[in-house]
Amino acid sequence: MALQLLQQLCFSTPLKQAVRWRSVSISTRTIMCATSTTTTSVTVPSTSKSTTRMPHVDPHVLLGMSEKDLQQLAIDFGEQSYRGKQLHHLLYKTKAKDIQDFSHLPQAFRNSLQEAGWKVGRSQIHRVVTAADGTIKVLLKLEDNRLVETVGIPVEDNKGSCRLTACVSSQVGCPLRCSFCATGKGGYSRNLQRHEIVEQVLVVEELFNRRVSNVVFMGMGEPMLNLKSVLEAHRCLNKDIQIGQRMITISTVGVPNTIKKLASHKLQSTLAISLHAPNQKLRETIVPSAKSYPLDAIMKDCKDYFLETGRRVSFEYTLLAGVNDKVEHAAELAELLHSWGSGYHVNLIPFNPIDGSEYRRPYKKAVLAFSAALESRKVTVSVRQTRGLDASAACGQLRNEFQKSPLLATSDVLEPLSVASSV
Ligand code: SF4
């Protein structure tokens, strides 16, 4: 999943700058801690145990709650249930950030909520960077001072309609350490709570001043290692923010037993598998966690996923020059896909260079040859256009510039530094 934040969507027409520019003053912090990027072997963490030091859901956070739960909350505070509907509107439509901004609610109710420890659950914007193509990357500073990335990608399609995709993170950092990924190099600190995922979409809507049409779980982290929060956030995005399930994509490099779990929810969202190699041996060199989840097992789970949900799985393939981008690799990939079914879609992603990476971006000629080799073998394929290359575009790249190690939590490891950025 999660690979290169901005590289995801395929756009054939040039982007019109449908973005409203505005100035954002921010304060950033510099990093006083050492990096921890030397680990080479990776075991997929168990999903049965929590990998986070935070509670799964902060019980006093409003964002992420359903209308029904908010109505019950209002009743619990001695209010009528319609106050819960108002709360719902304030959170998801008005996008109020603080309980005292709930101007539709009686002051006494607002005070009671606050006195009982309730909060909205919105984070501070720490840094905003805009690419020439209109893509905006945002760093949010979470309550425990950790930084998480979100990207907003505006796209105008051939018919002139405009989409806005939010590429959201599911973890702070990532424990899987895929060899090409900036997030993997930055280490891992914790899972995001559901409101910390939902707020990323609200932030993108605010920065672009319009509704998000698509959400892709392709930011920092492996969504399947935080499936509970991801599913809760998915519910909220679909029901409360009203983004269609088919407009949501959950991407994974593969975590044993989780595809089955996801399938049991019968979502109409797209499952994207970050494959990156046509065979197990090569895949293990690119995705170390693949050792715990052989390719055949993933392919079988994908087939079962399709049988269970009726939704075809798509495969993401990052092209790394001289590593996995040869026509022979394409032929092997086509063979692999055909042996497990038909109709699979492959998204080719030319590698987006990151600092210190051993990999290079493939030549355009190699990308076209790879794509043609798949097409000639009746595999449908798209080549993703890289977005926001000039804005530290790769997954985790922006965050890494500001917080080298997410494993250190307290604010006193960070030293203030003033920066102003325009959006
Ligand atoms: S290291 Fe994590 S965030 Fe990066 S590509 Fe691998 S799974 Fe995705």
- 420 within domain boundaries: no
243 and 261 both lie in a single domain: yes
Could you tell me the distance, in angstroms and rounded to a whole number, from the CA of residue 181 to the centre of ligand 1? 6
pLDDT reported for residue 6: 41
- 224 within domain boundaries: yes
- 317 within domain boundaries: yes
- 407 within domain boundaries: no
Which tens digit of pLDDT belongs to each residue from 328-368? 999 999 999 999 987 689 999 999 887 778 899 999 999 99
State the CATH number of the domain containing residue 75.
1.10.150.530
How many CB atoms are located within 10 Å of the residue 398 CB?
A: 26
Q: Which residues contact 239 (CB under 8 A, 6 or more apart)?
A: 66
271 and 394 both lie in a single domain: yes
Could you tell me the distance, in angstroms and rounded to a whole number, from the CA of residue 180 to the centre of ligand 1? 8
226 and 334 both lie in a single domain: yes
Given 101, 121, 141, the domain boundary residue is: 121
- 421 within domain boundaries: no
Q: Which pairs from 327-330 meet CB under 8 Å and 24+ separation?
A: 327/369, 327/370, 327/373, 329/277, 329/278, 329/282, 329/370, 330/278, 330/369, 330/370, 330/371, 330/373, 330/374, 330/377
360 and 227 both lie in a single domain: yes
101 and 210 both lie in a single domain: no
Q: Ligand 1 pocket: which of 3, 218, 226 to mutate (most atoms <8 Å of CB)?
A: 3
- Residue 55: exposure state from Cβ atoms within 10 A (0-12, 13-18, ≥19): exposed
- 269 within domain boundaries: yes
pLDDT reported for residue 13: 30
Query: Is 236 known to be catalytic?
Result: no
Residue 245's Cβ-side half-sphere holds a number of Cα atoms within 13 Å equal to: 12
Q: Do the Cβ atoms of 15 and 417 come closer than 8 Å?
A: no
Given 95, 121, 147, the domain boundary residue is: 121
291 and 193 both lie in a single domain: yes
Could you tell me the distance, in angstroms and rounded to a whole number, from the CA of residue 223 to the centre of ligand 1? 10
pLDDT reported for residue 28: 27
168 and 136 both lie in a single domain: yes
In the predicted model, is pLDDT for residue 269 greater than 90?
yes
Query: Which residues constitute the domain of residue 182?
Result: 124-402
Q: Do the Cβ atoms of 230 and 223 come closer than 8 Å?
A: yes
2 and 68 both lie in a single domain: no
173 and 244 both lie in a single domain: yes
- How many distinct structural domains can be found in the chain? 3
Q: Which of 167, 178, 302, 395 is catalytic?
A: 395
pLDDT band, very low/low/confident/very high, at 283 (cuts 50, 70, 90): very high
In the predicted model, is pLDDT for residue 315 greater than 70?
yes
273 and 291 both lie in a single domain: yes
Rounded average pLDDT over 227-247: 98
Which tens digit of pLDDT belongs to each residue from 332-341? 999 999 999 8
Considering all CA atoms of the chain, what is the largest pairwise distance in Å, rounded to the nearest integer? 69
- 417 within domain boundaries: no
Q: Which atom of ligand 1 is nearest to the CA of 287?
A: 6
Q: Which of 79, 149, 232, 316 is catalytic?
A: 149
117 and 203 both lie in a single domain: no
Which tens digit of pLDDT belongs to each residue from 142-196? 999 999 999 999 988 777 788 999 999 999 999 999 998 888 788 899 999 999 9
320 and 241 both lie in a single domain: yes
How many CB atoms are located within 10 Å of the residue 101 CB?
A: 14
Given 73, 106, 121, the domain boundary residue is: 121
- Whether the model pTM is above 0.85: no
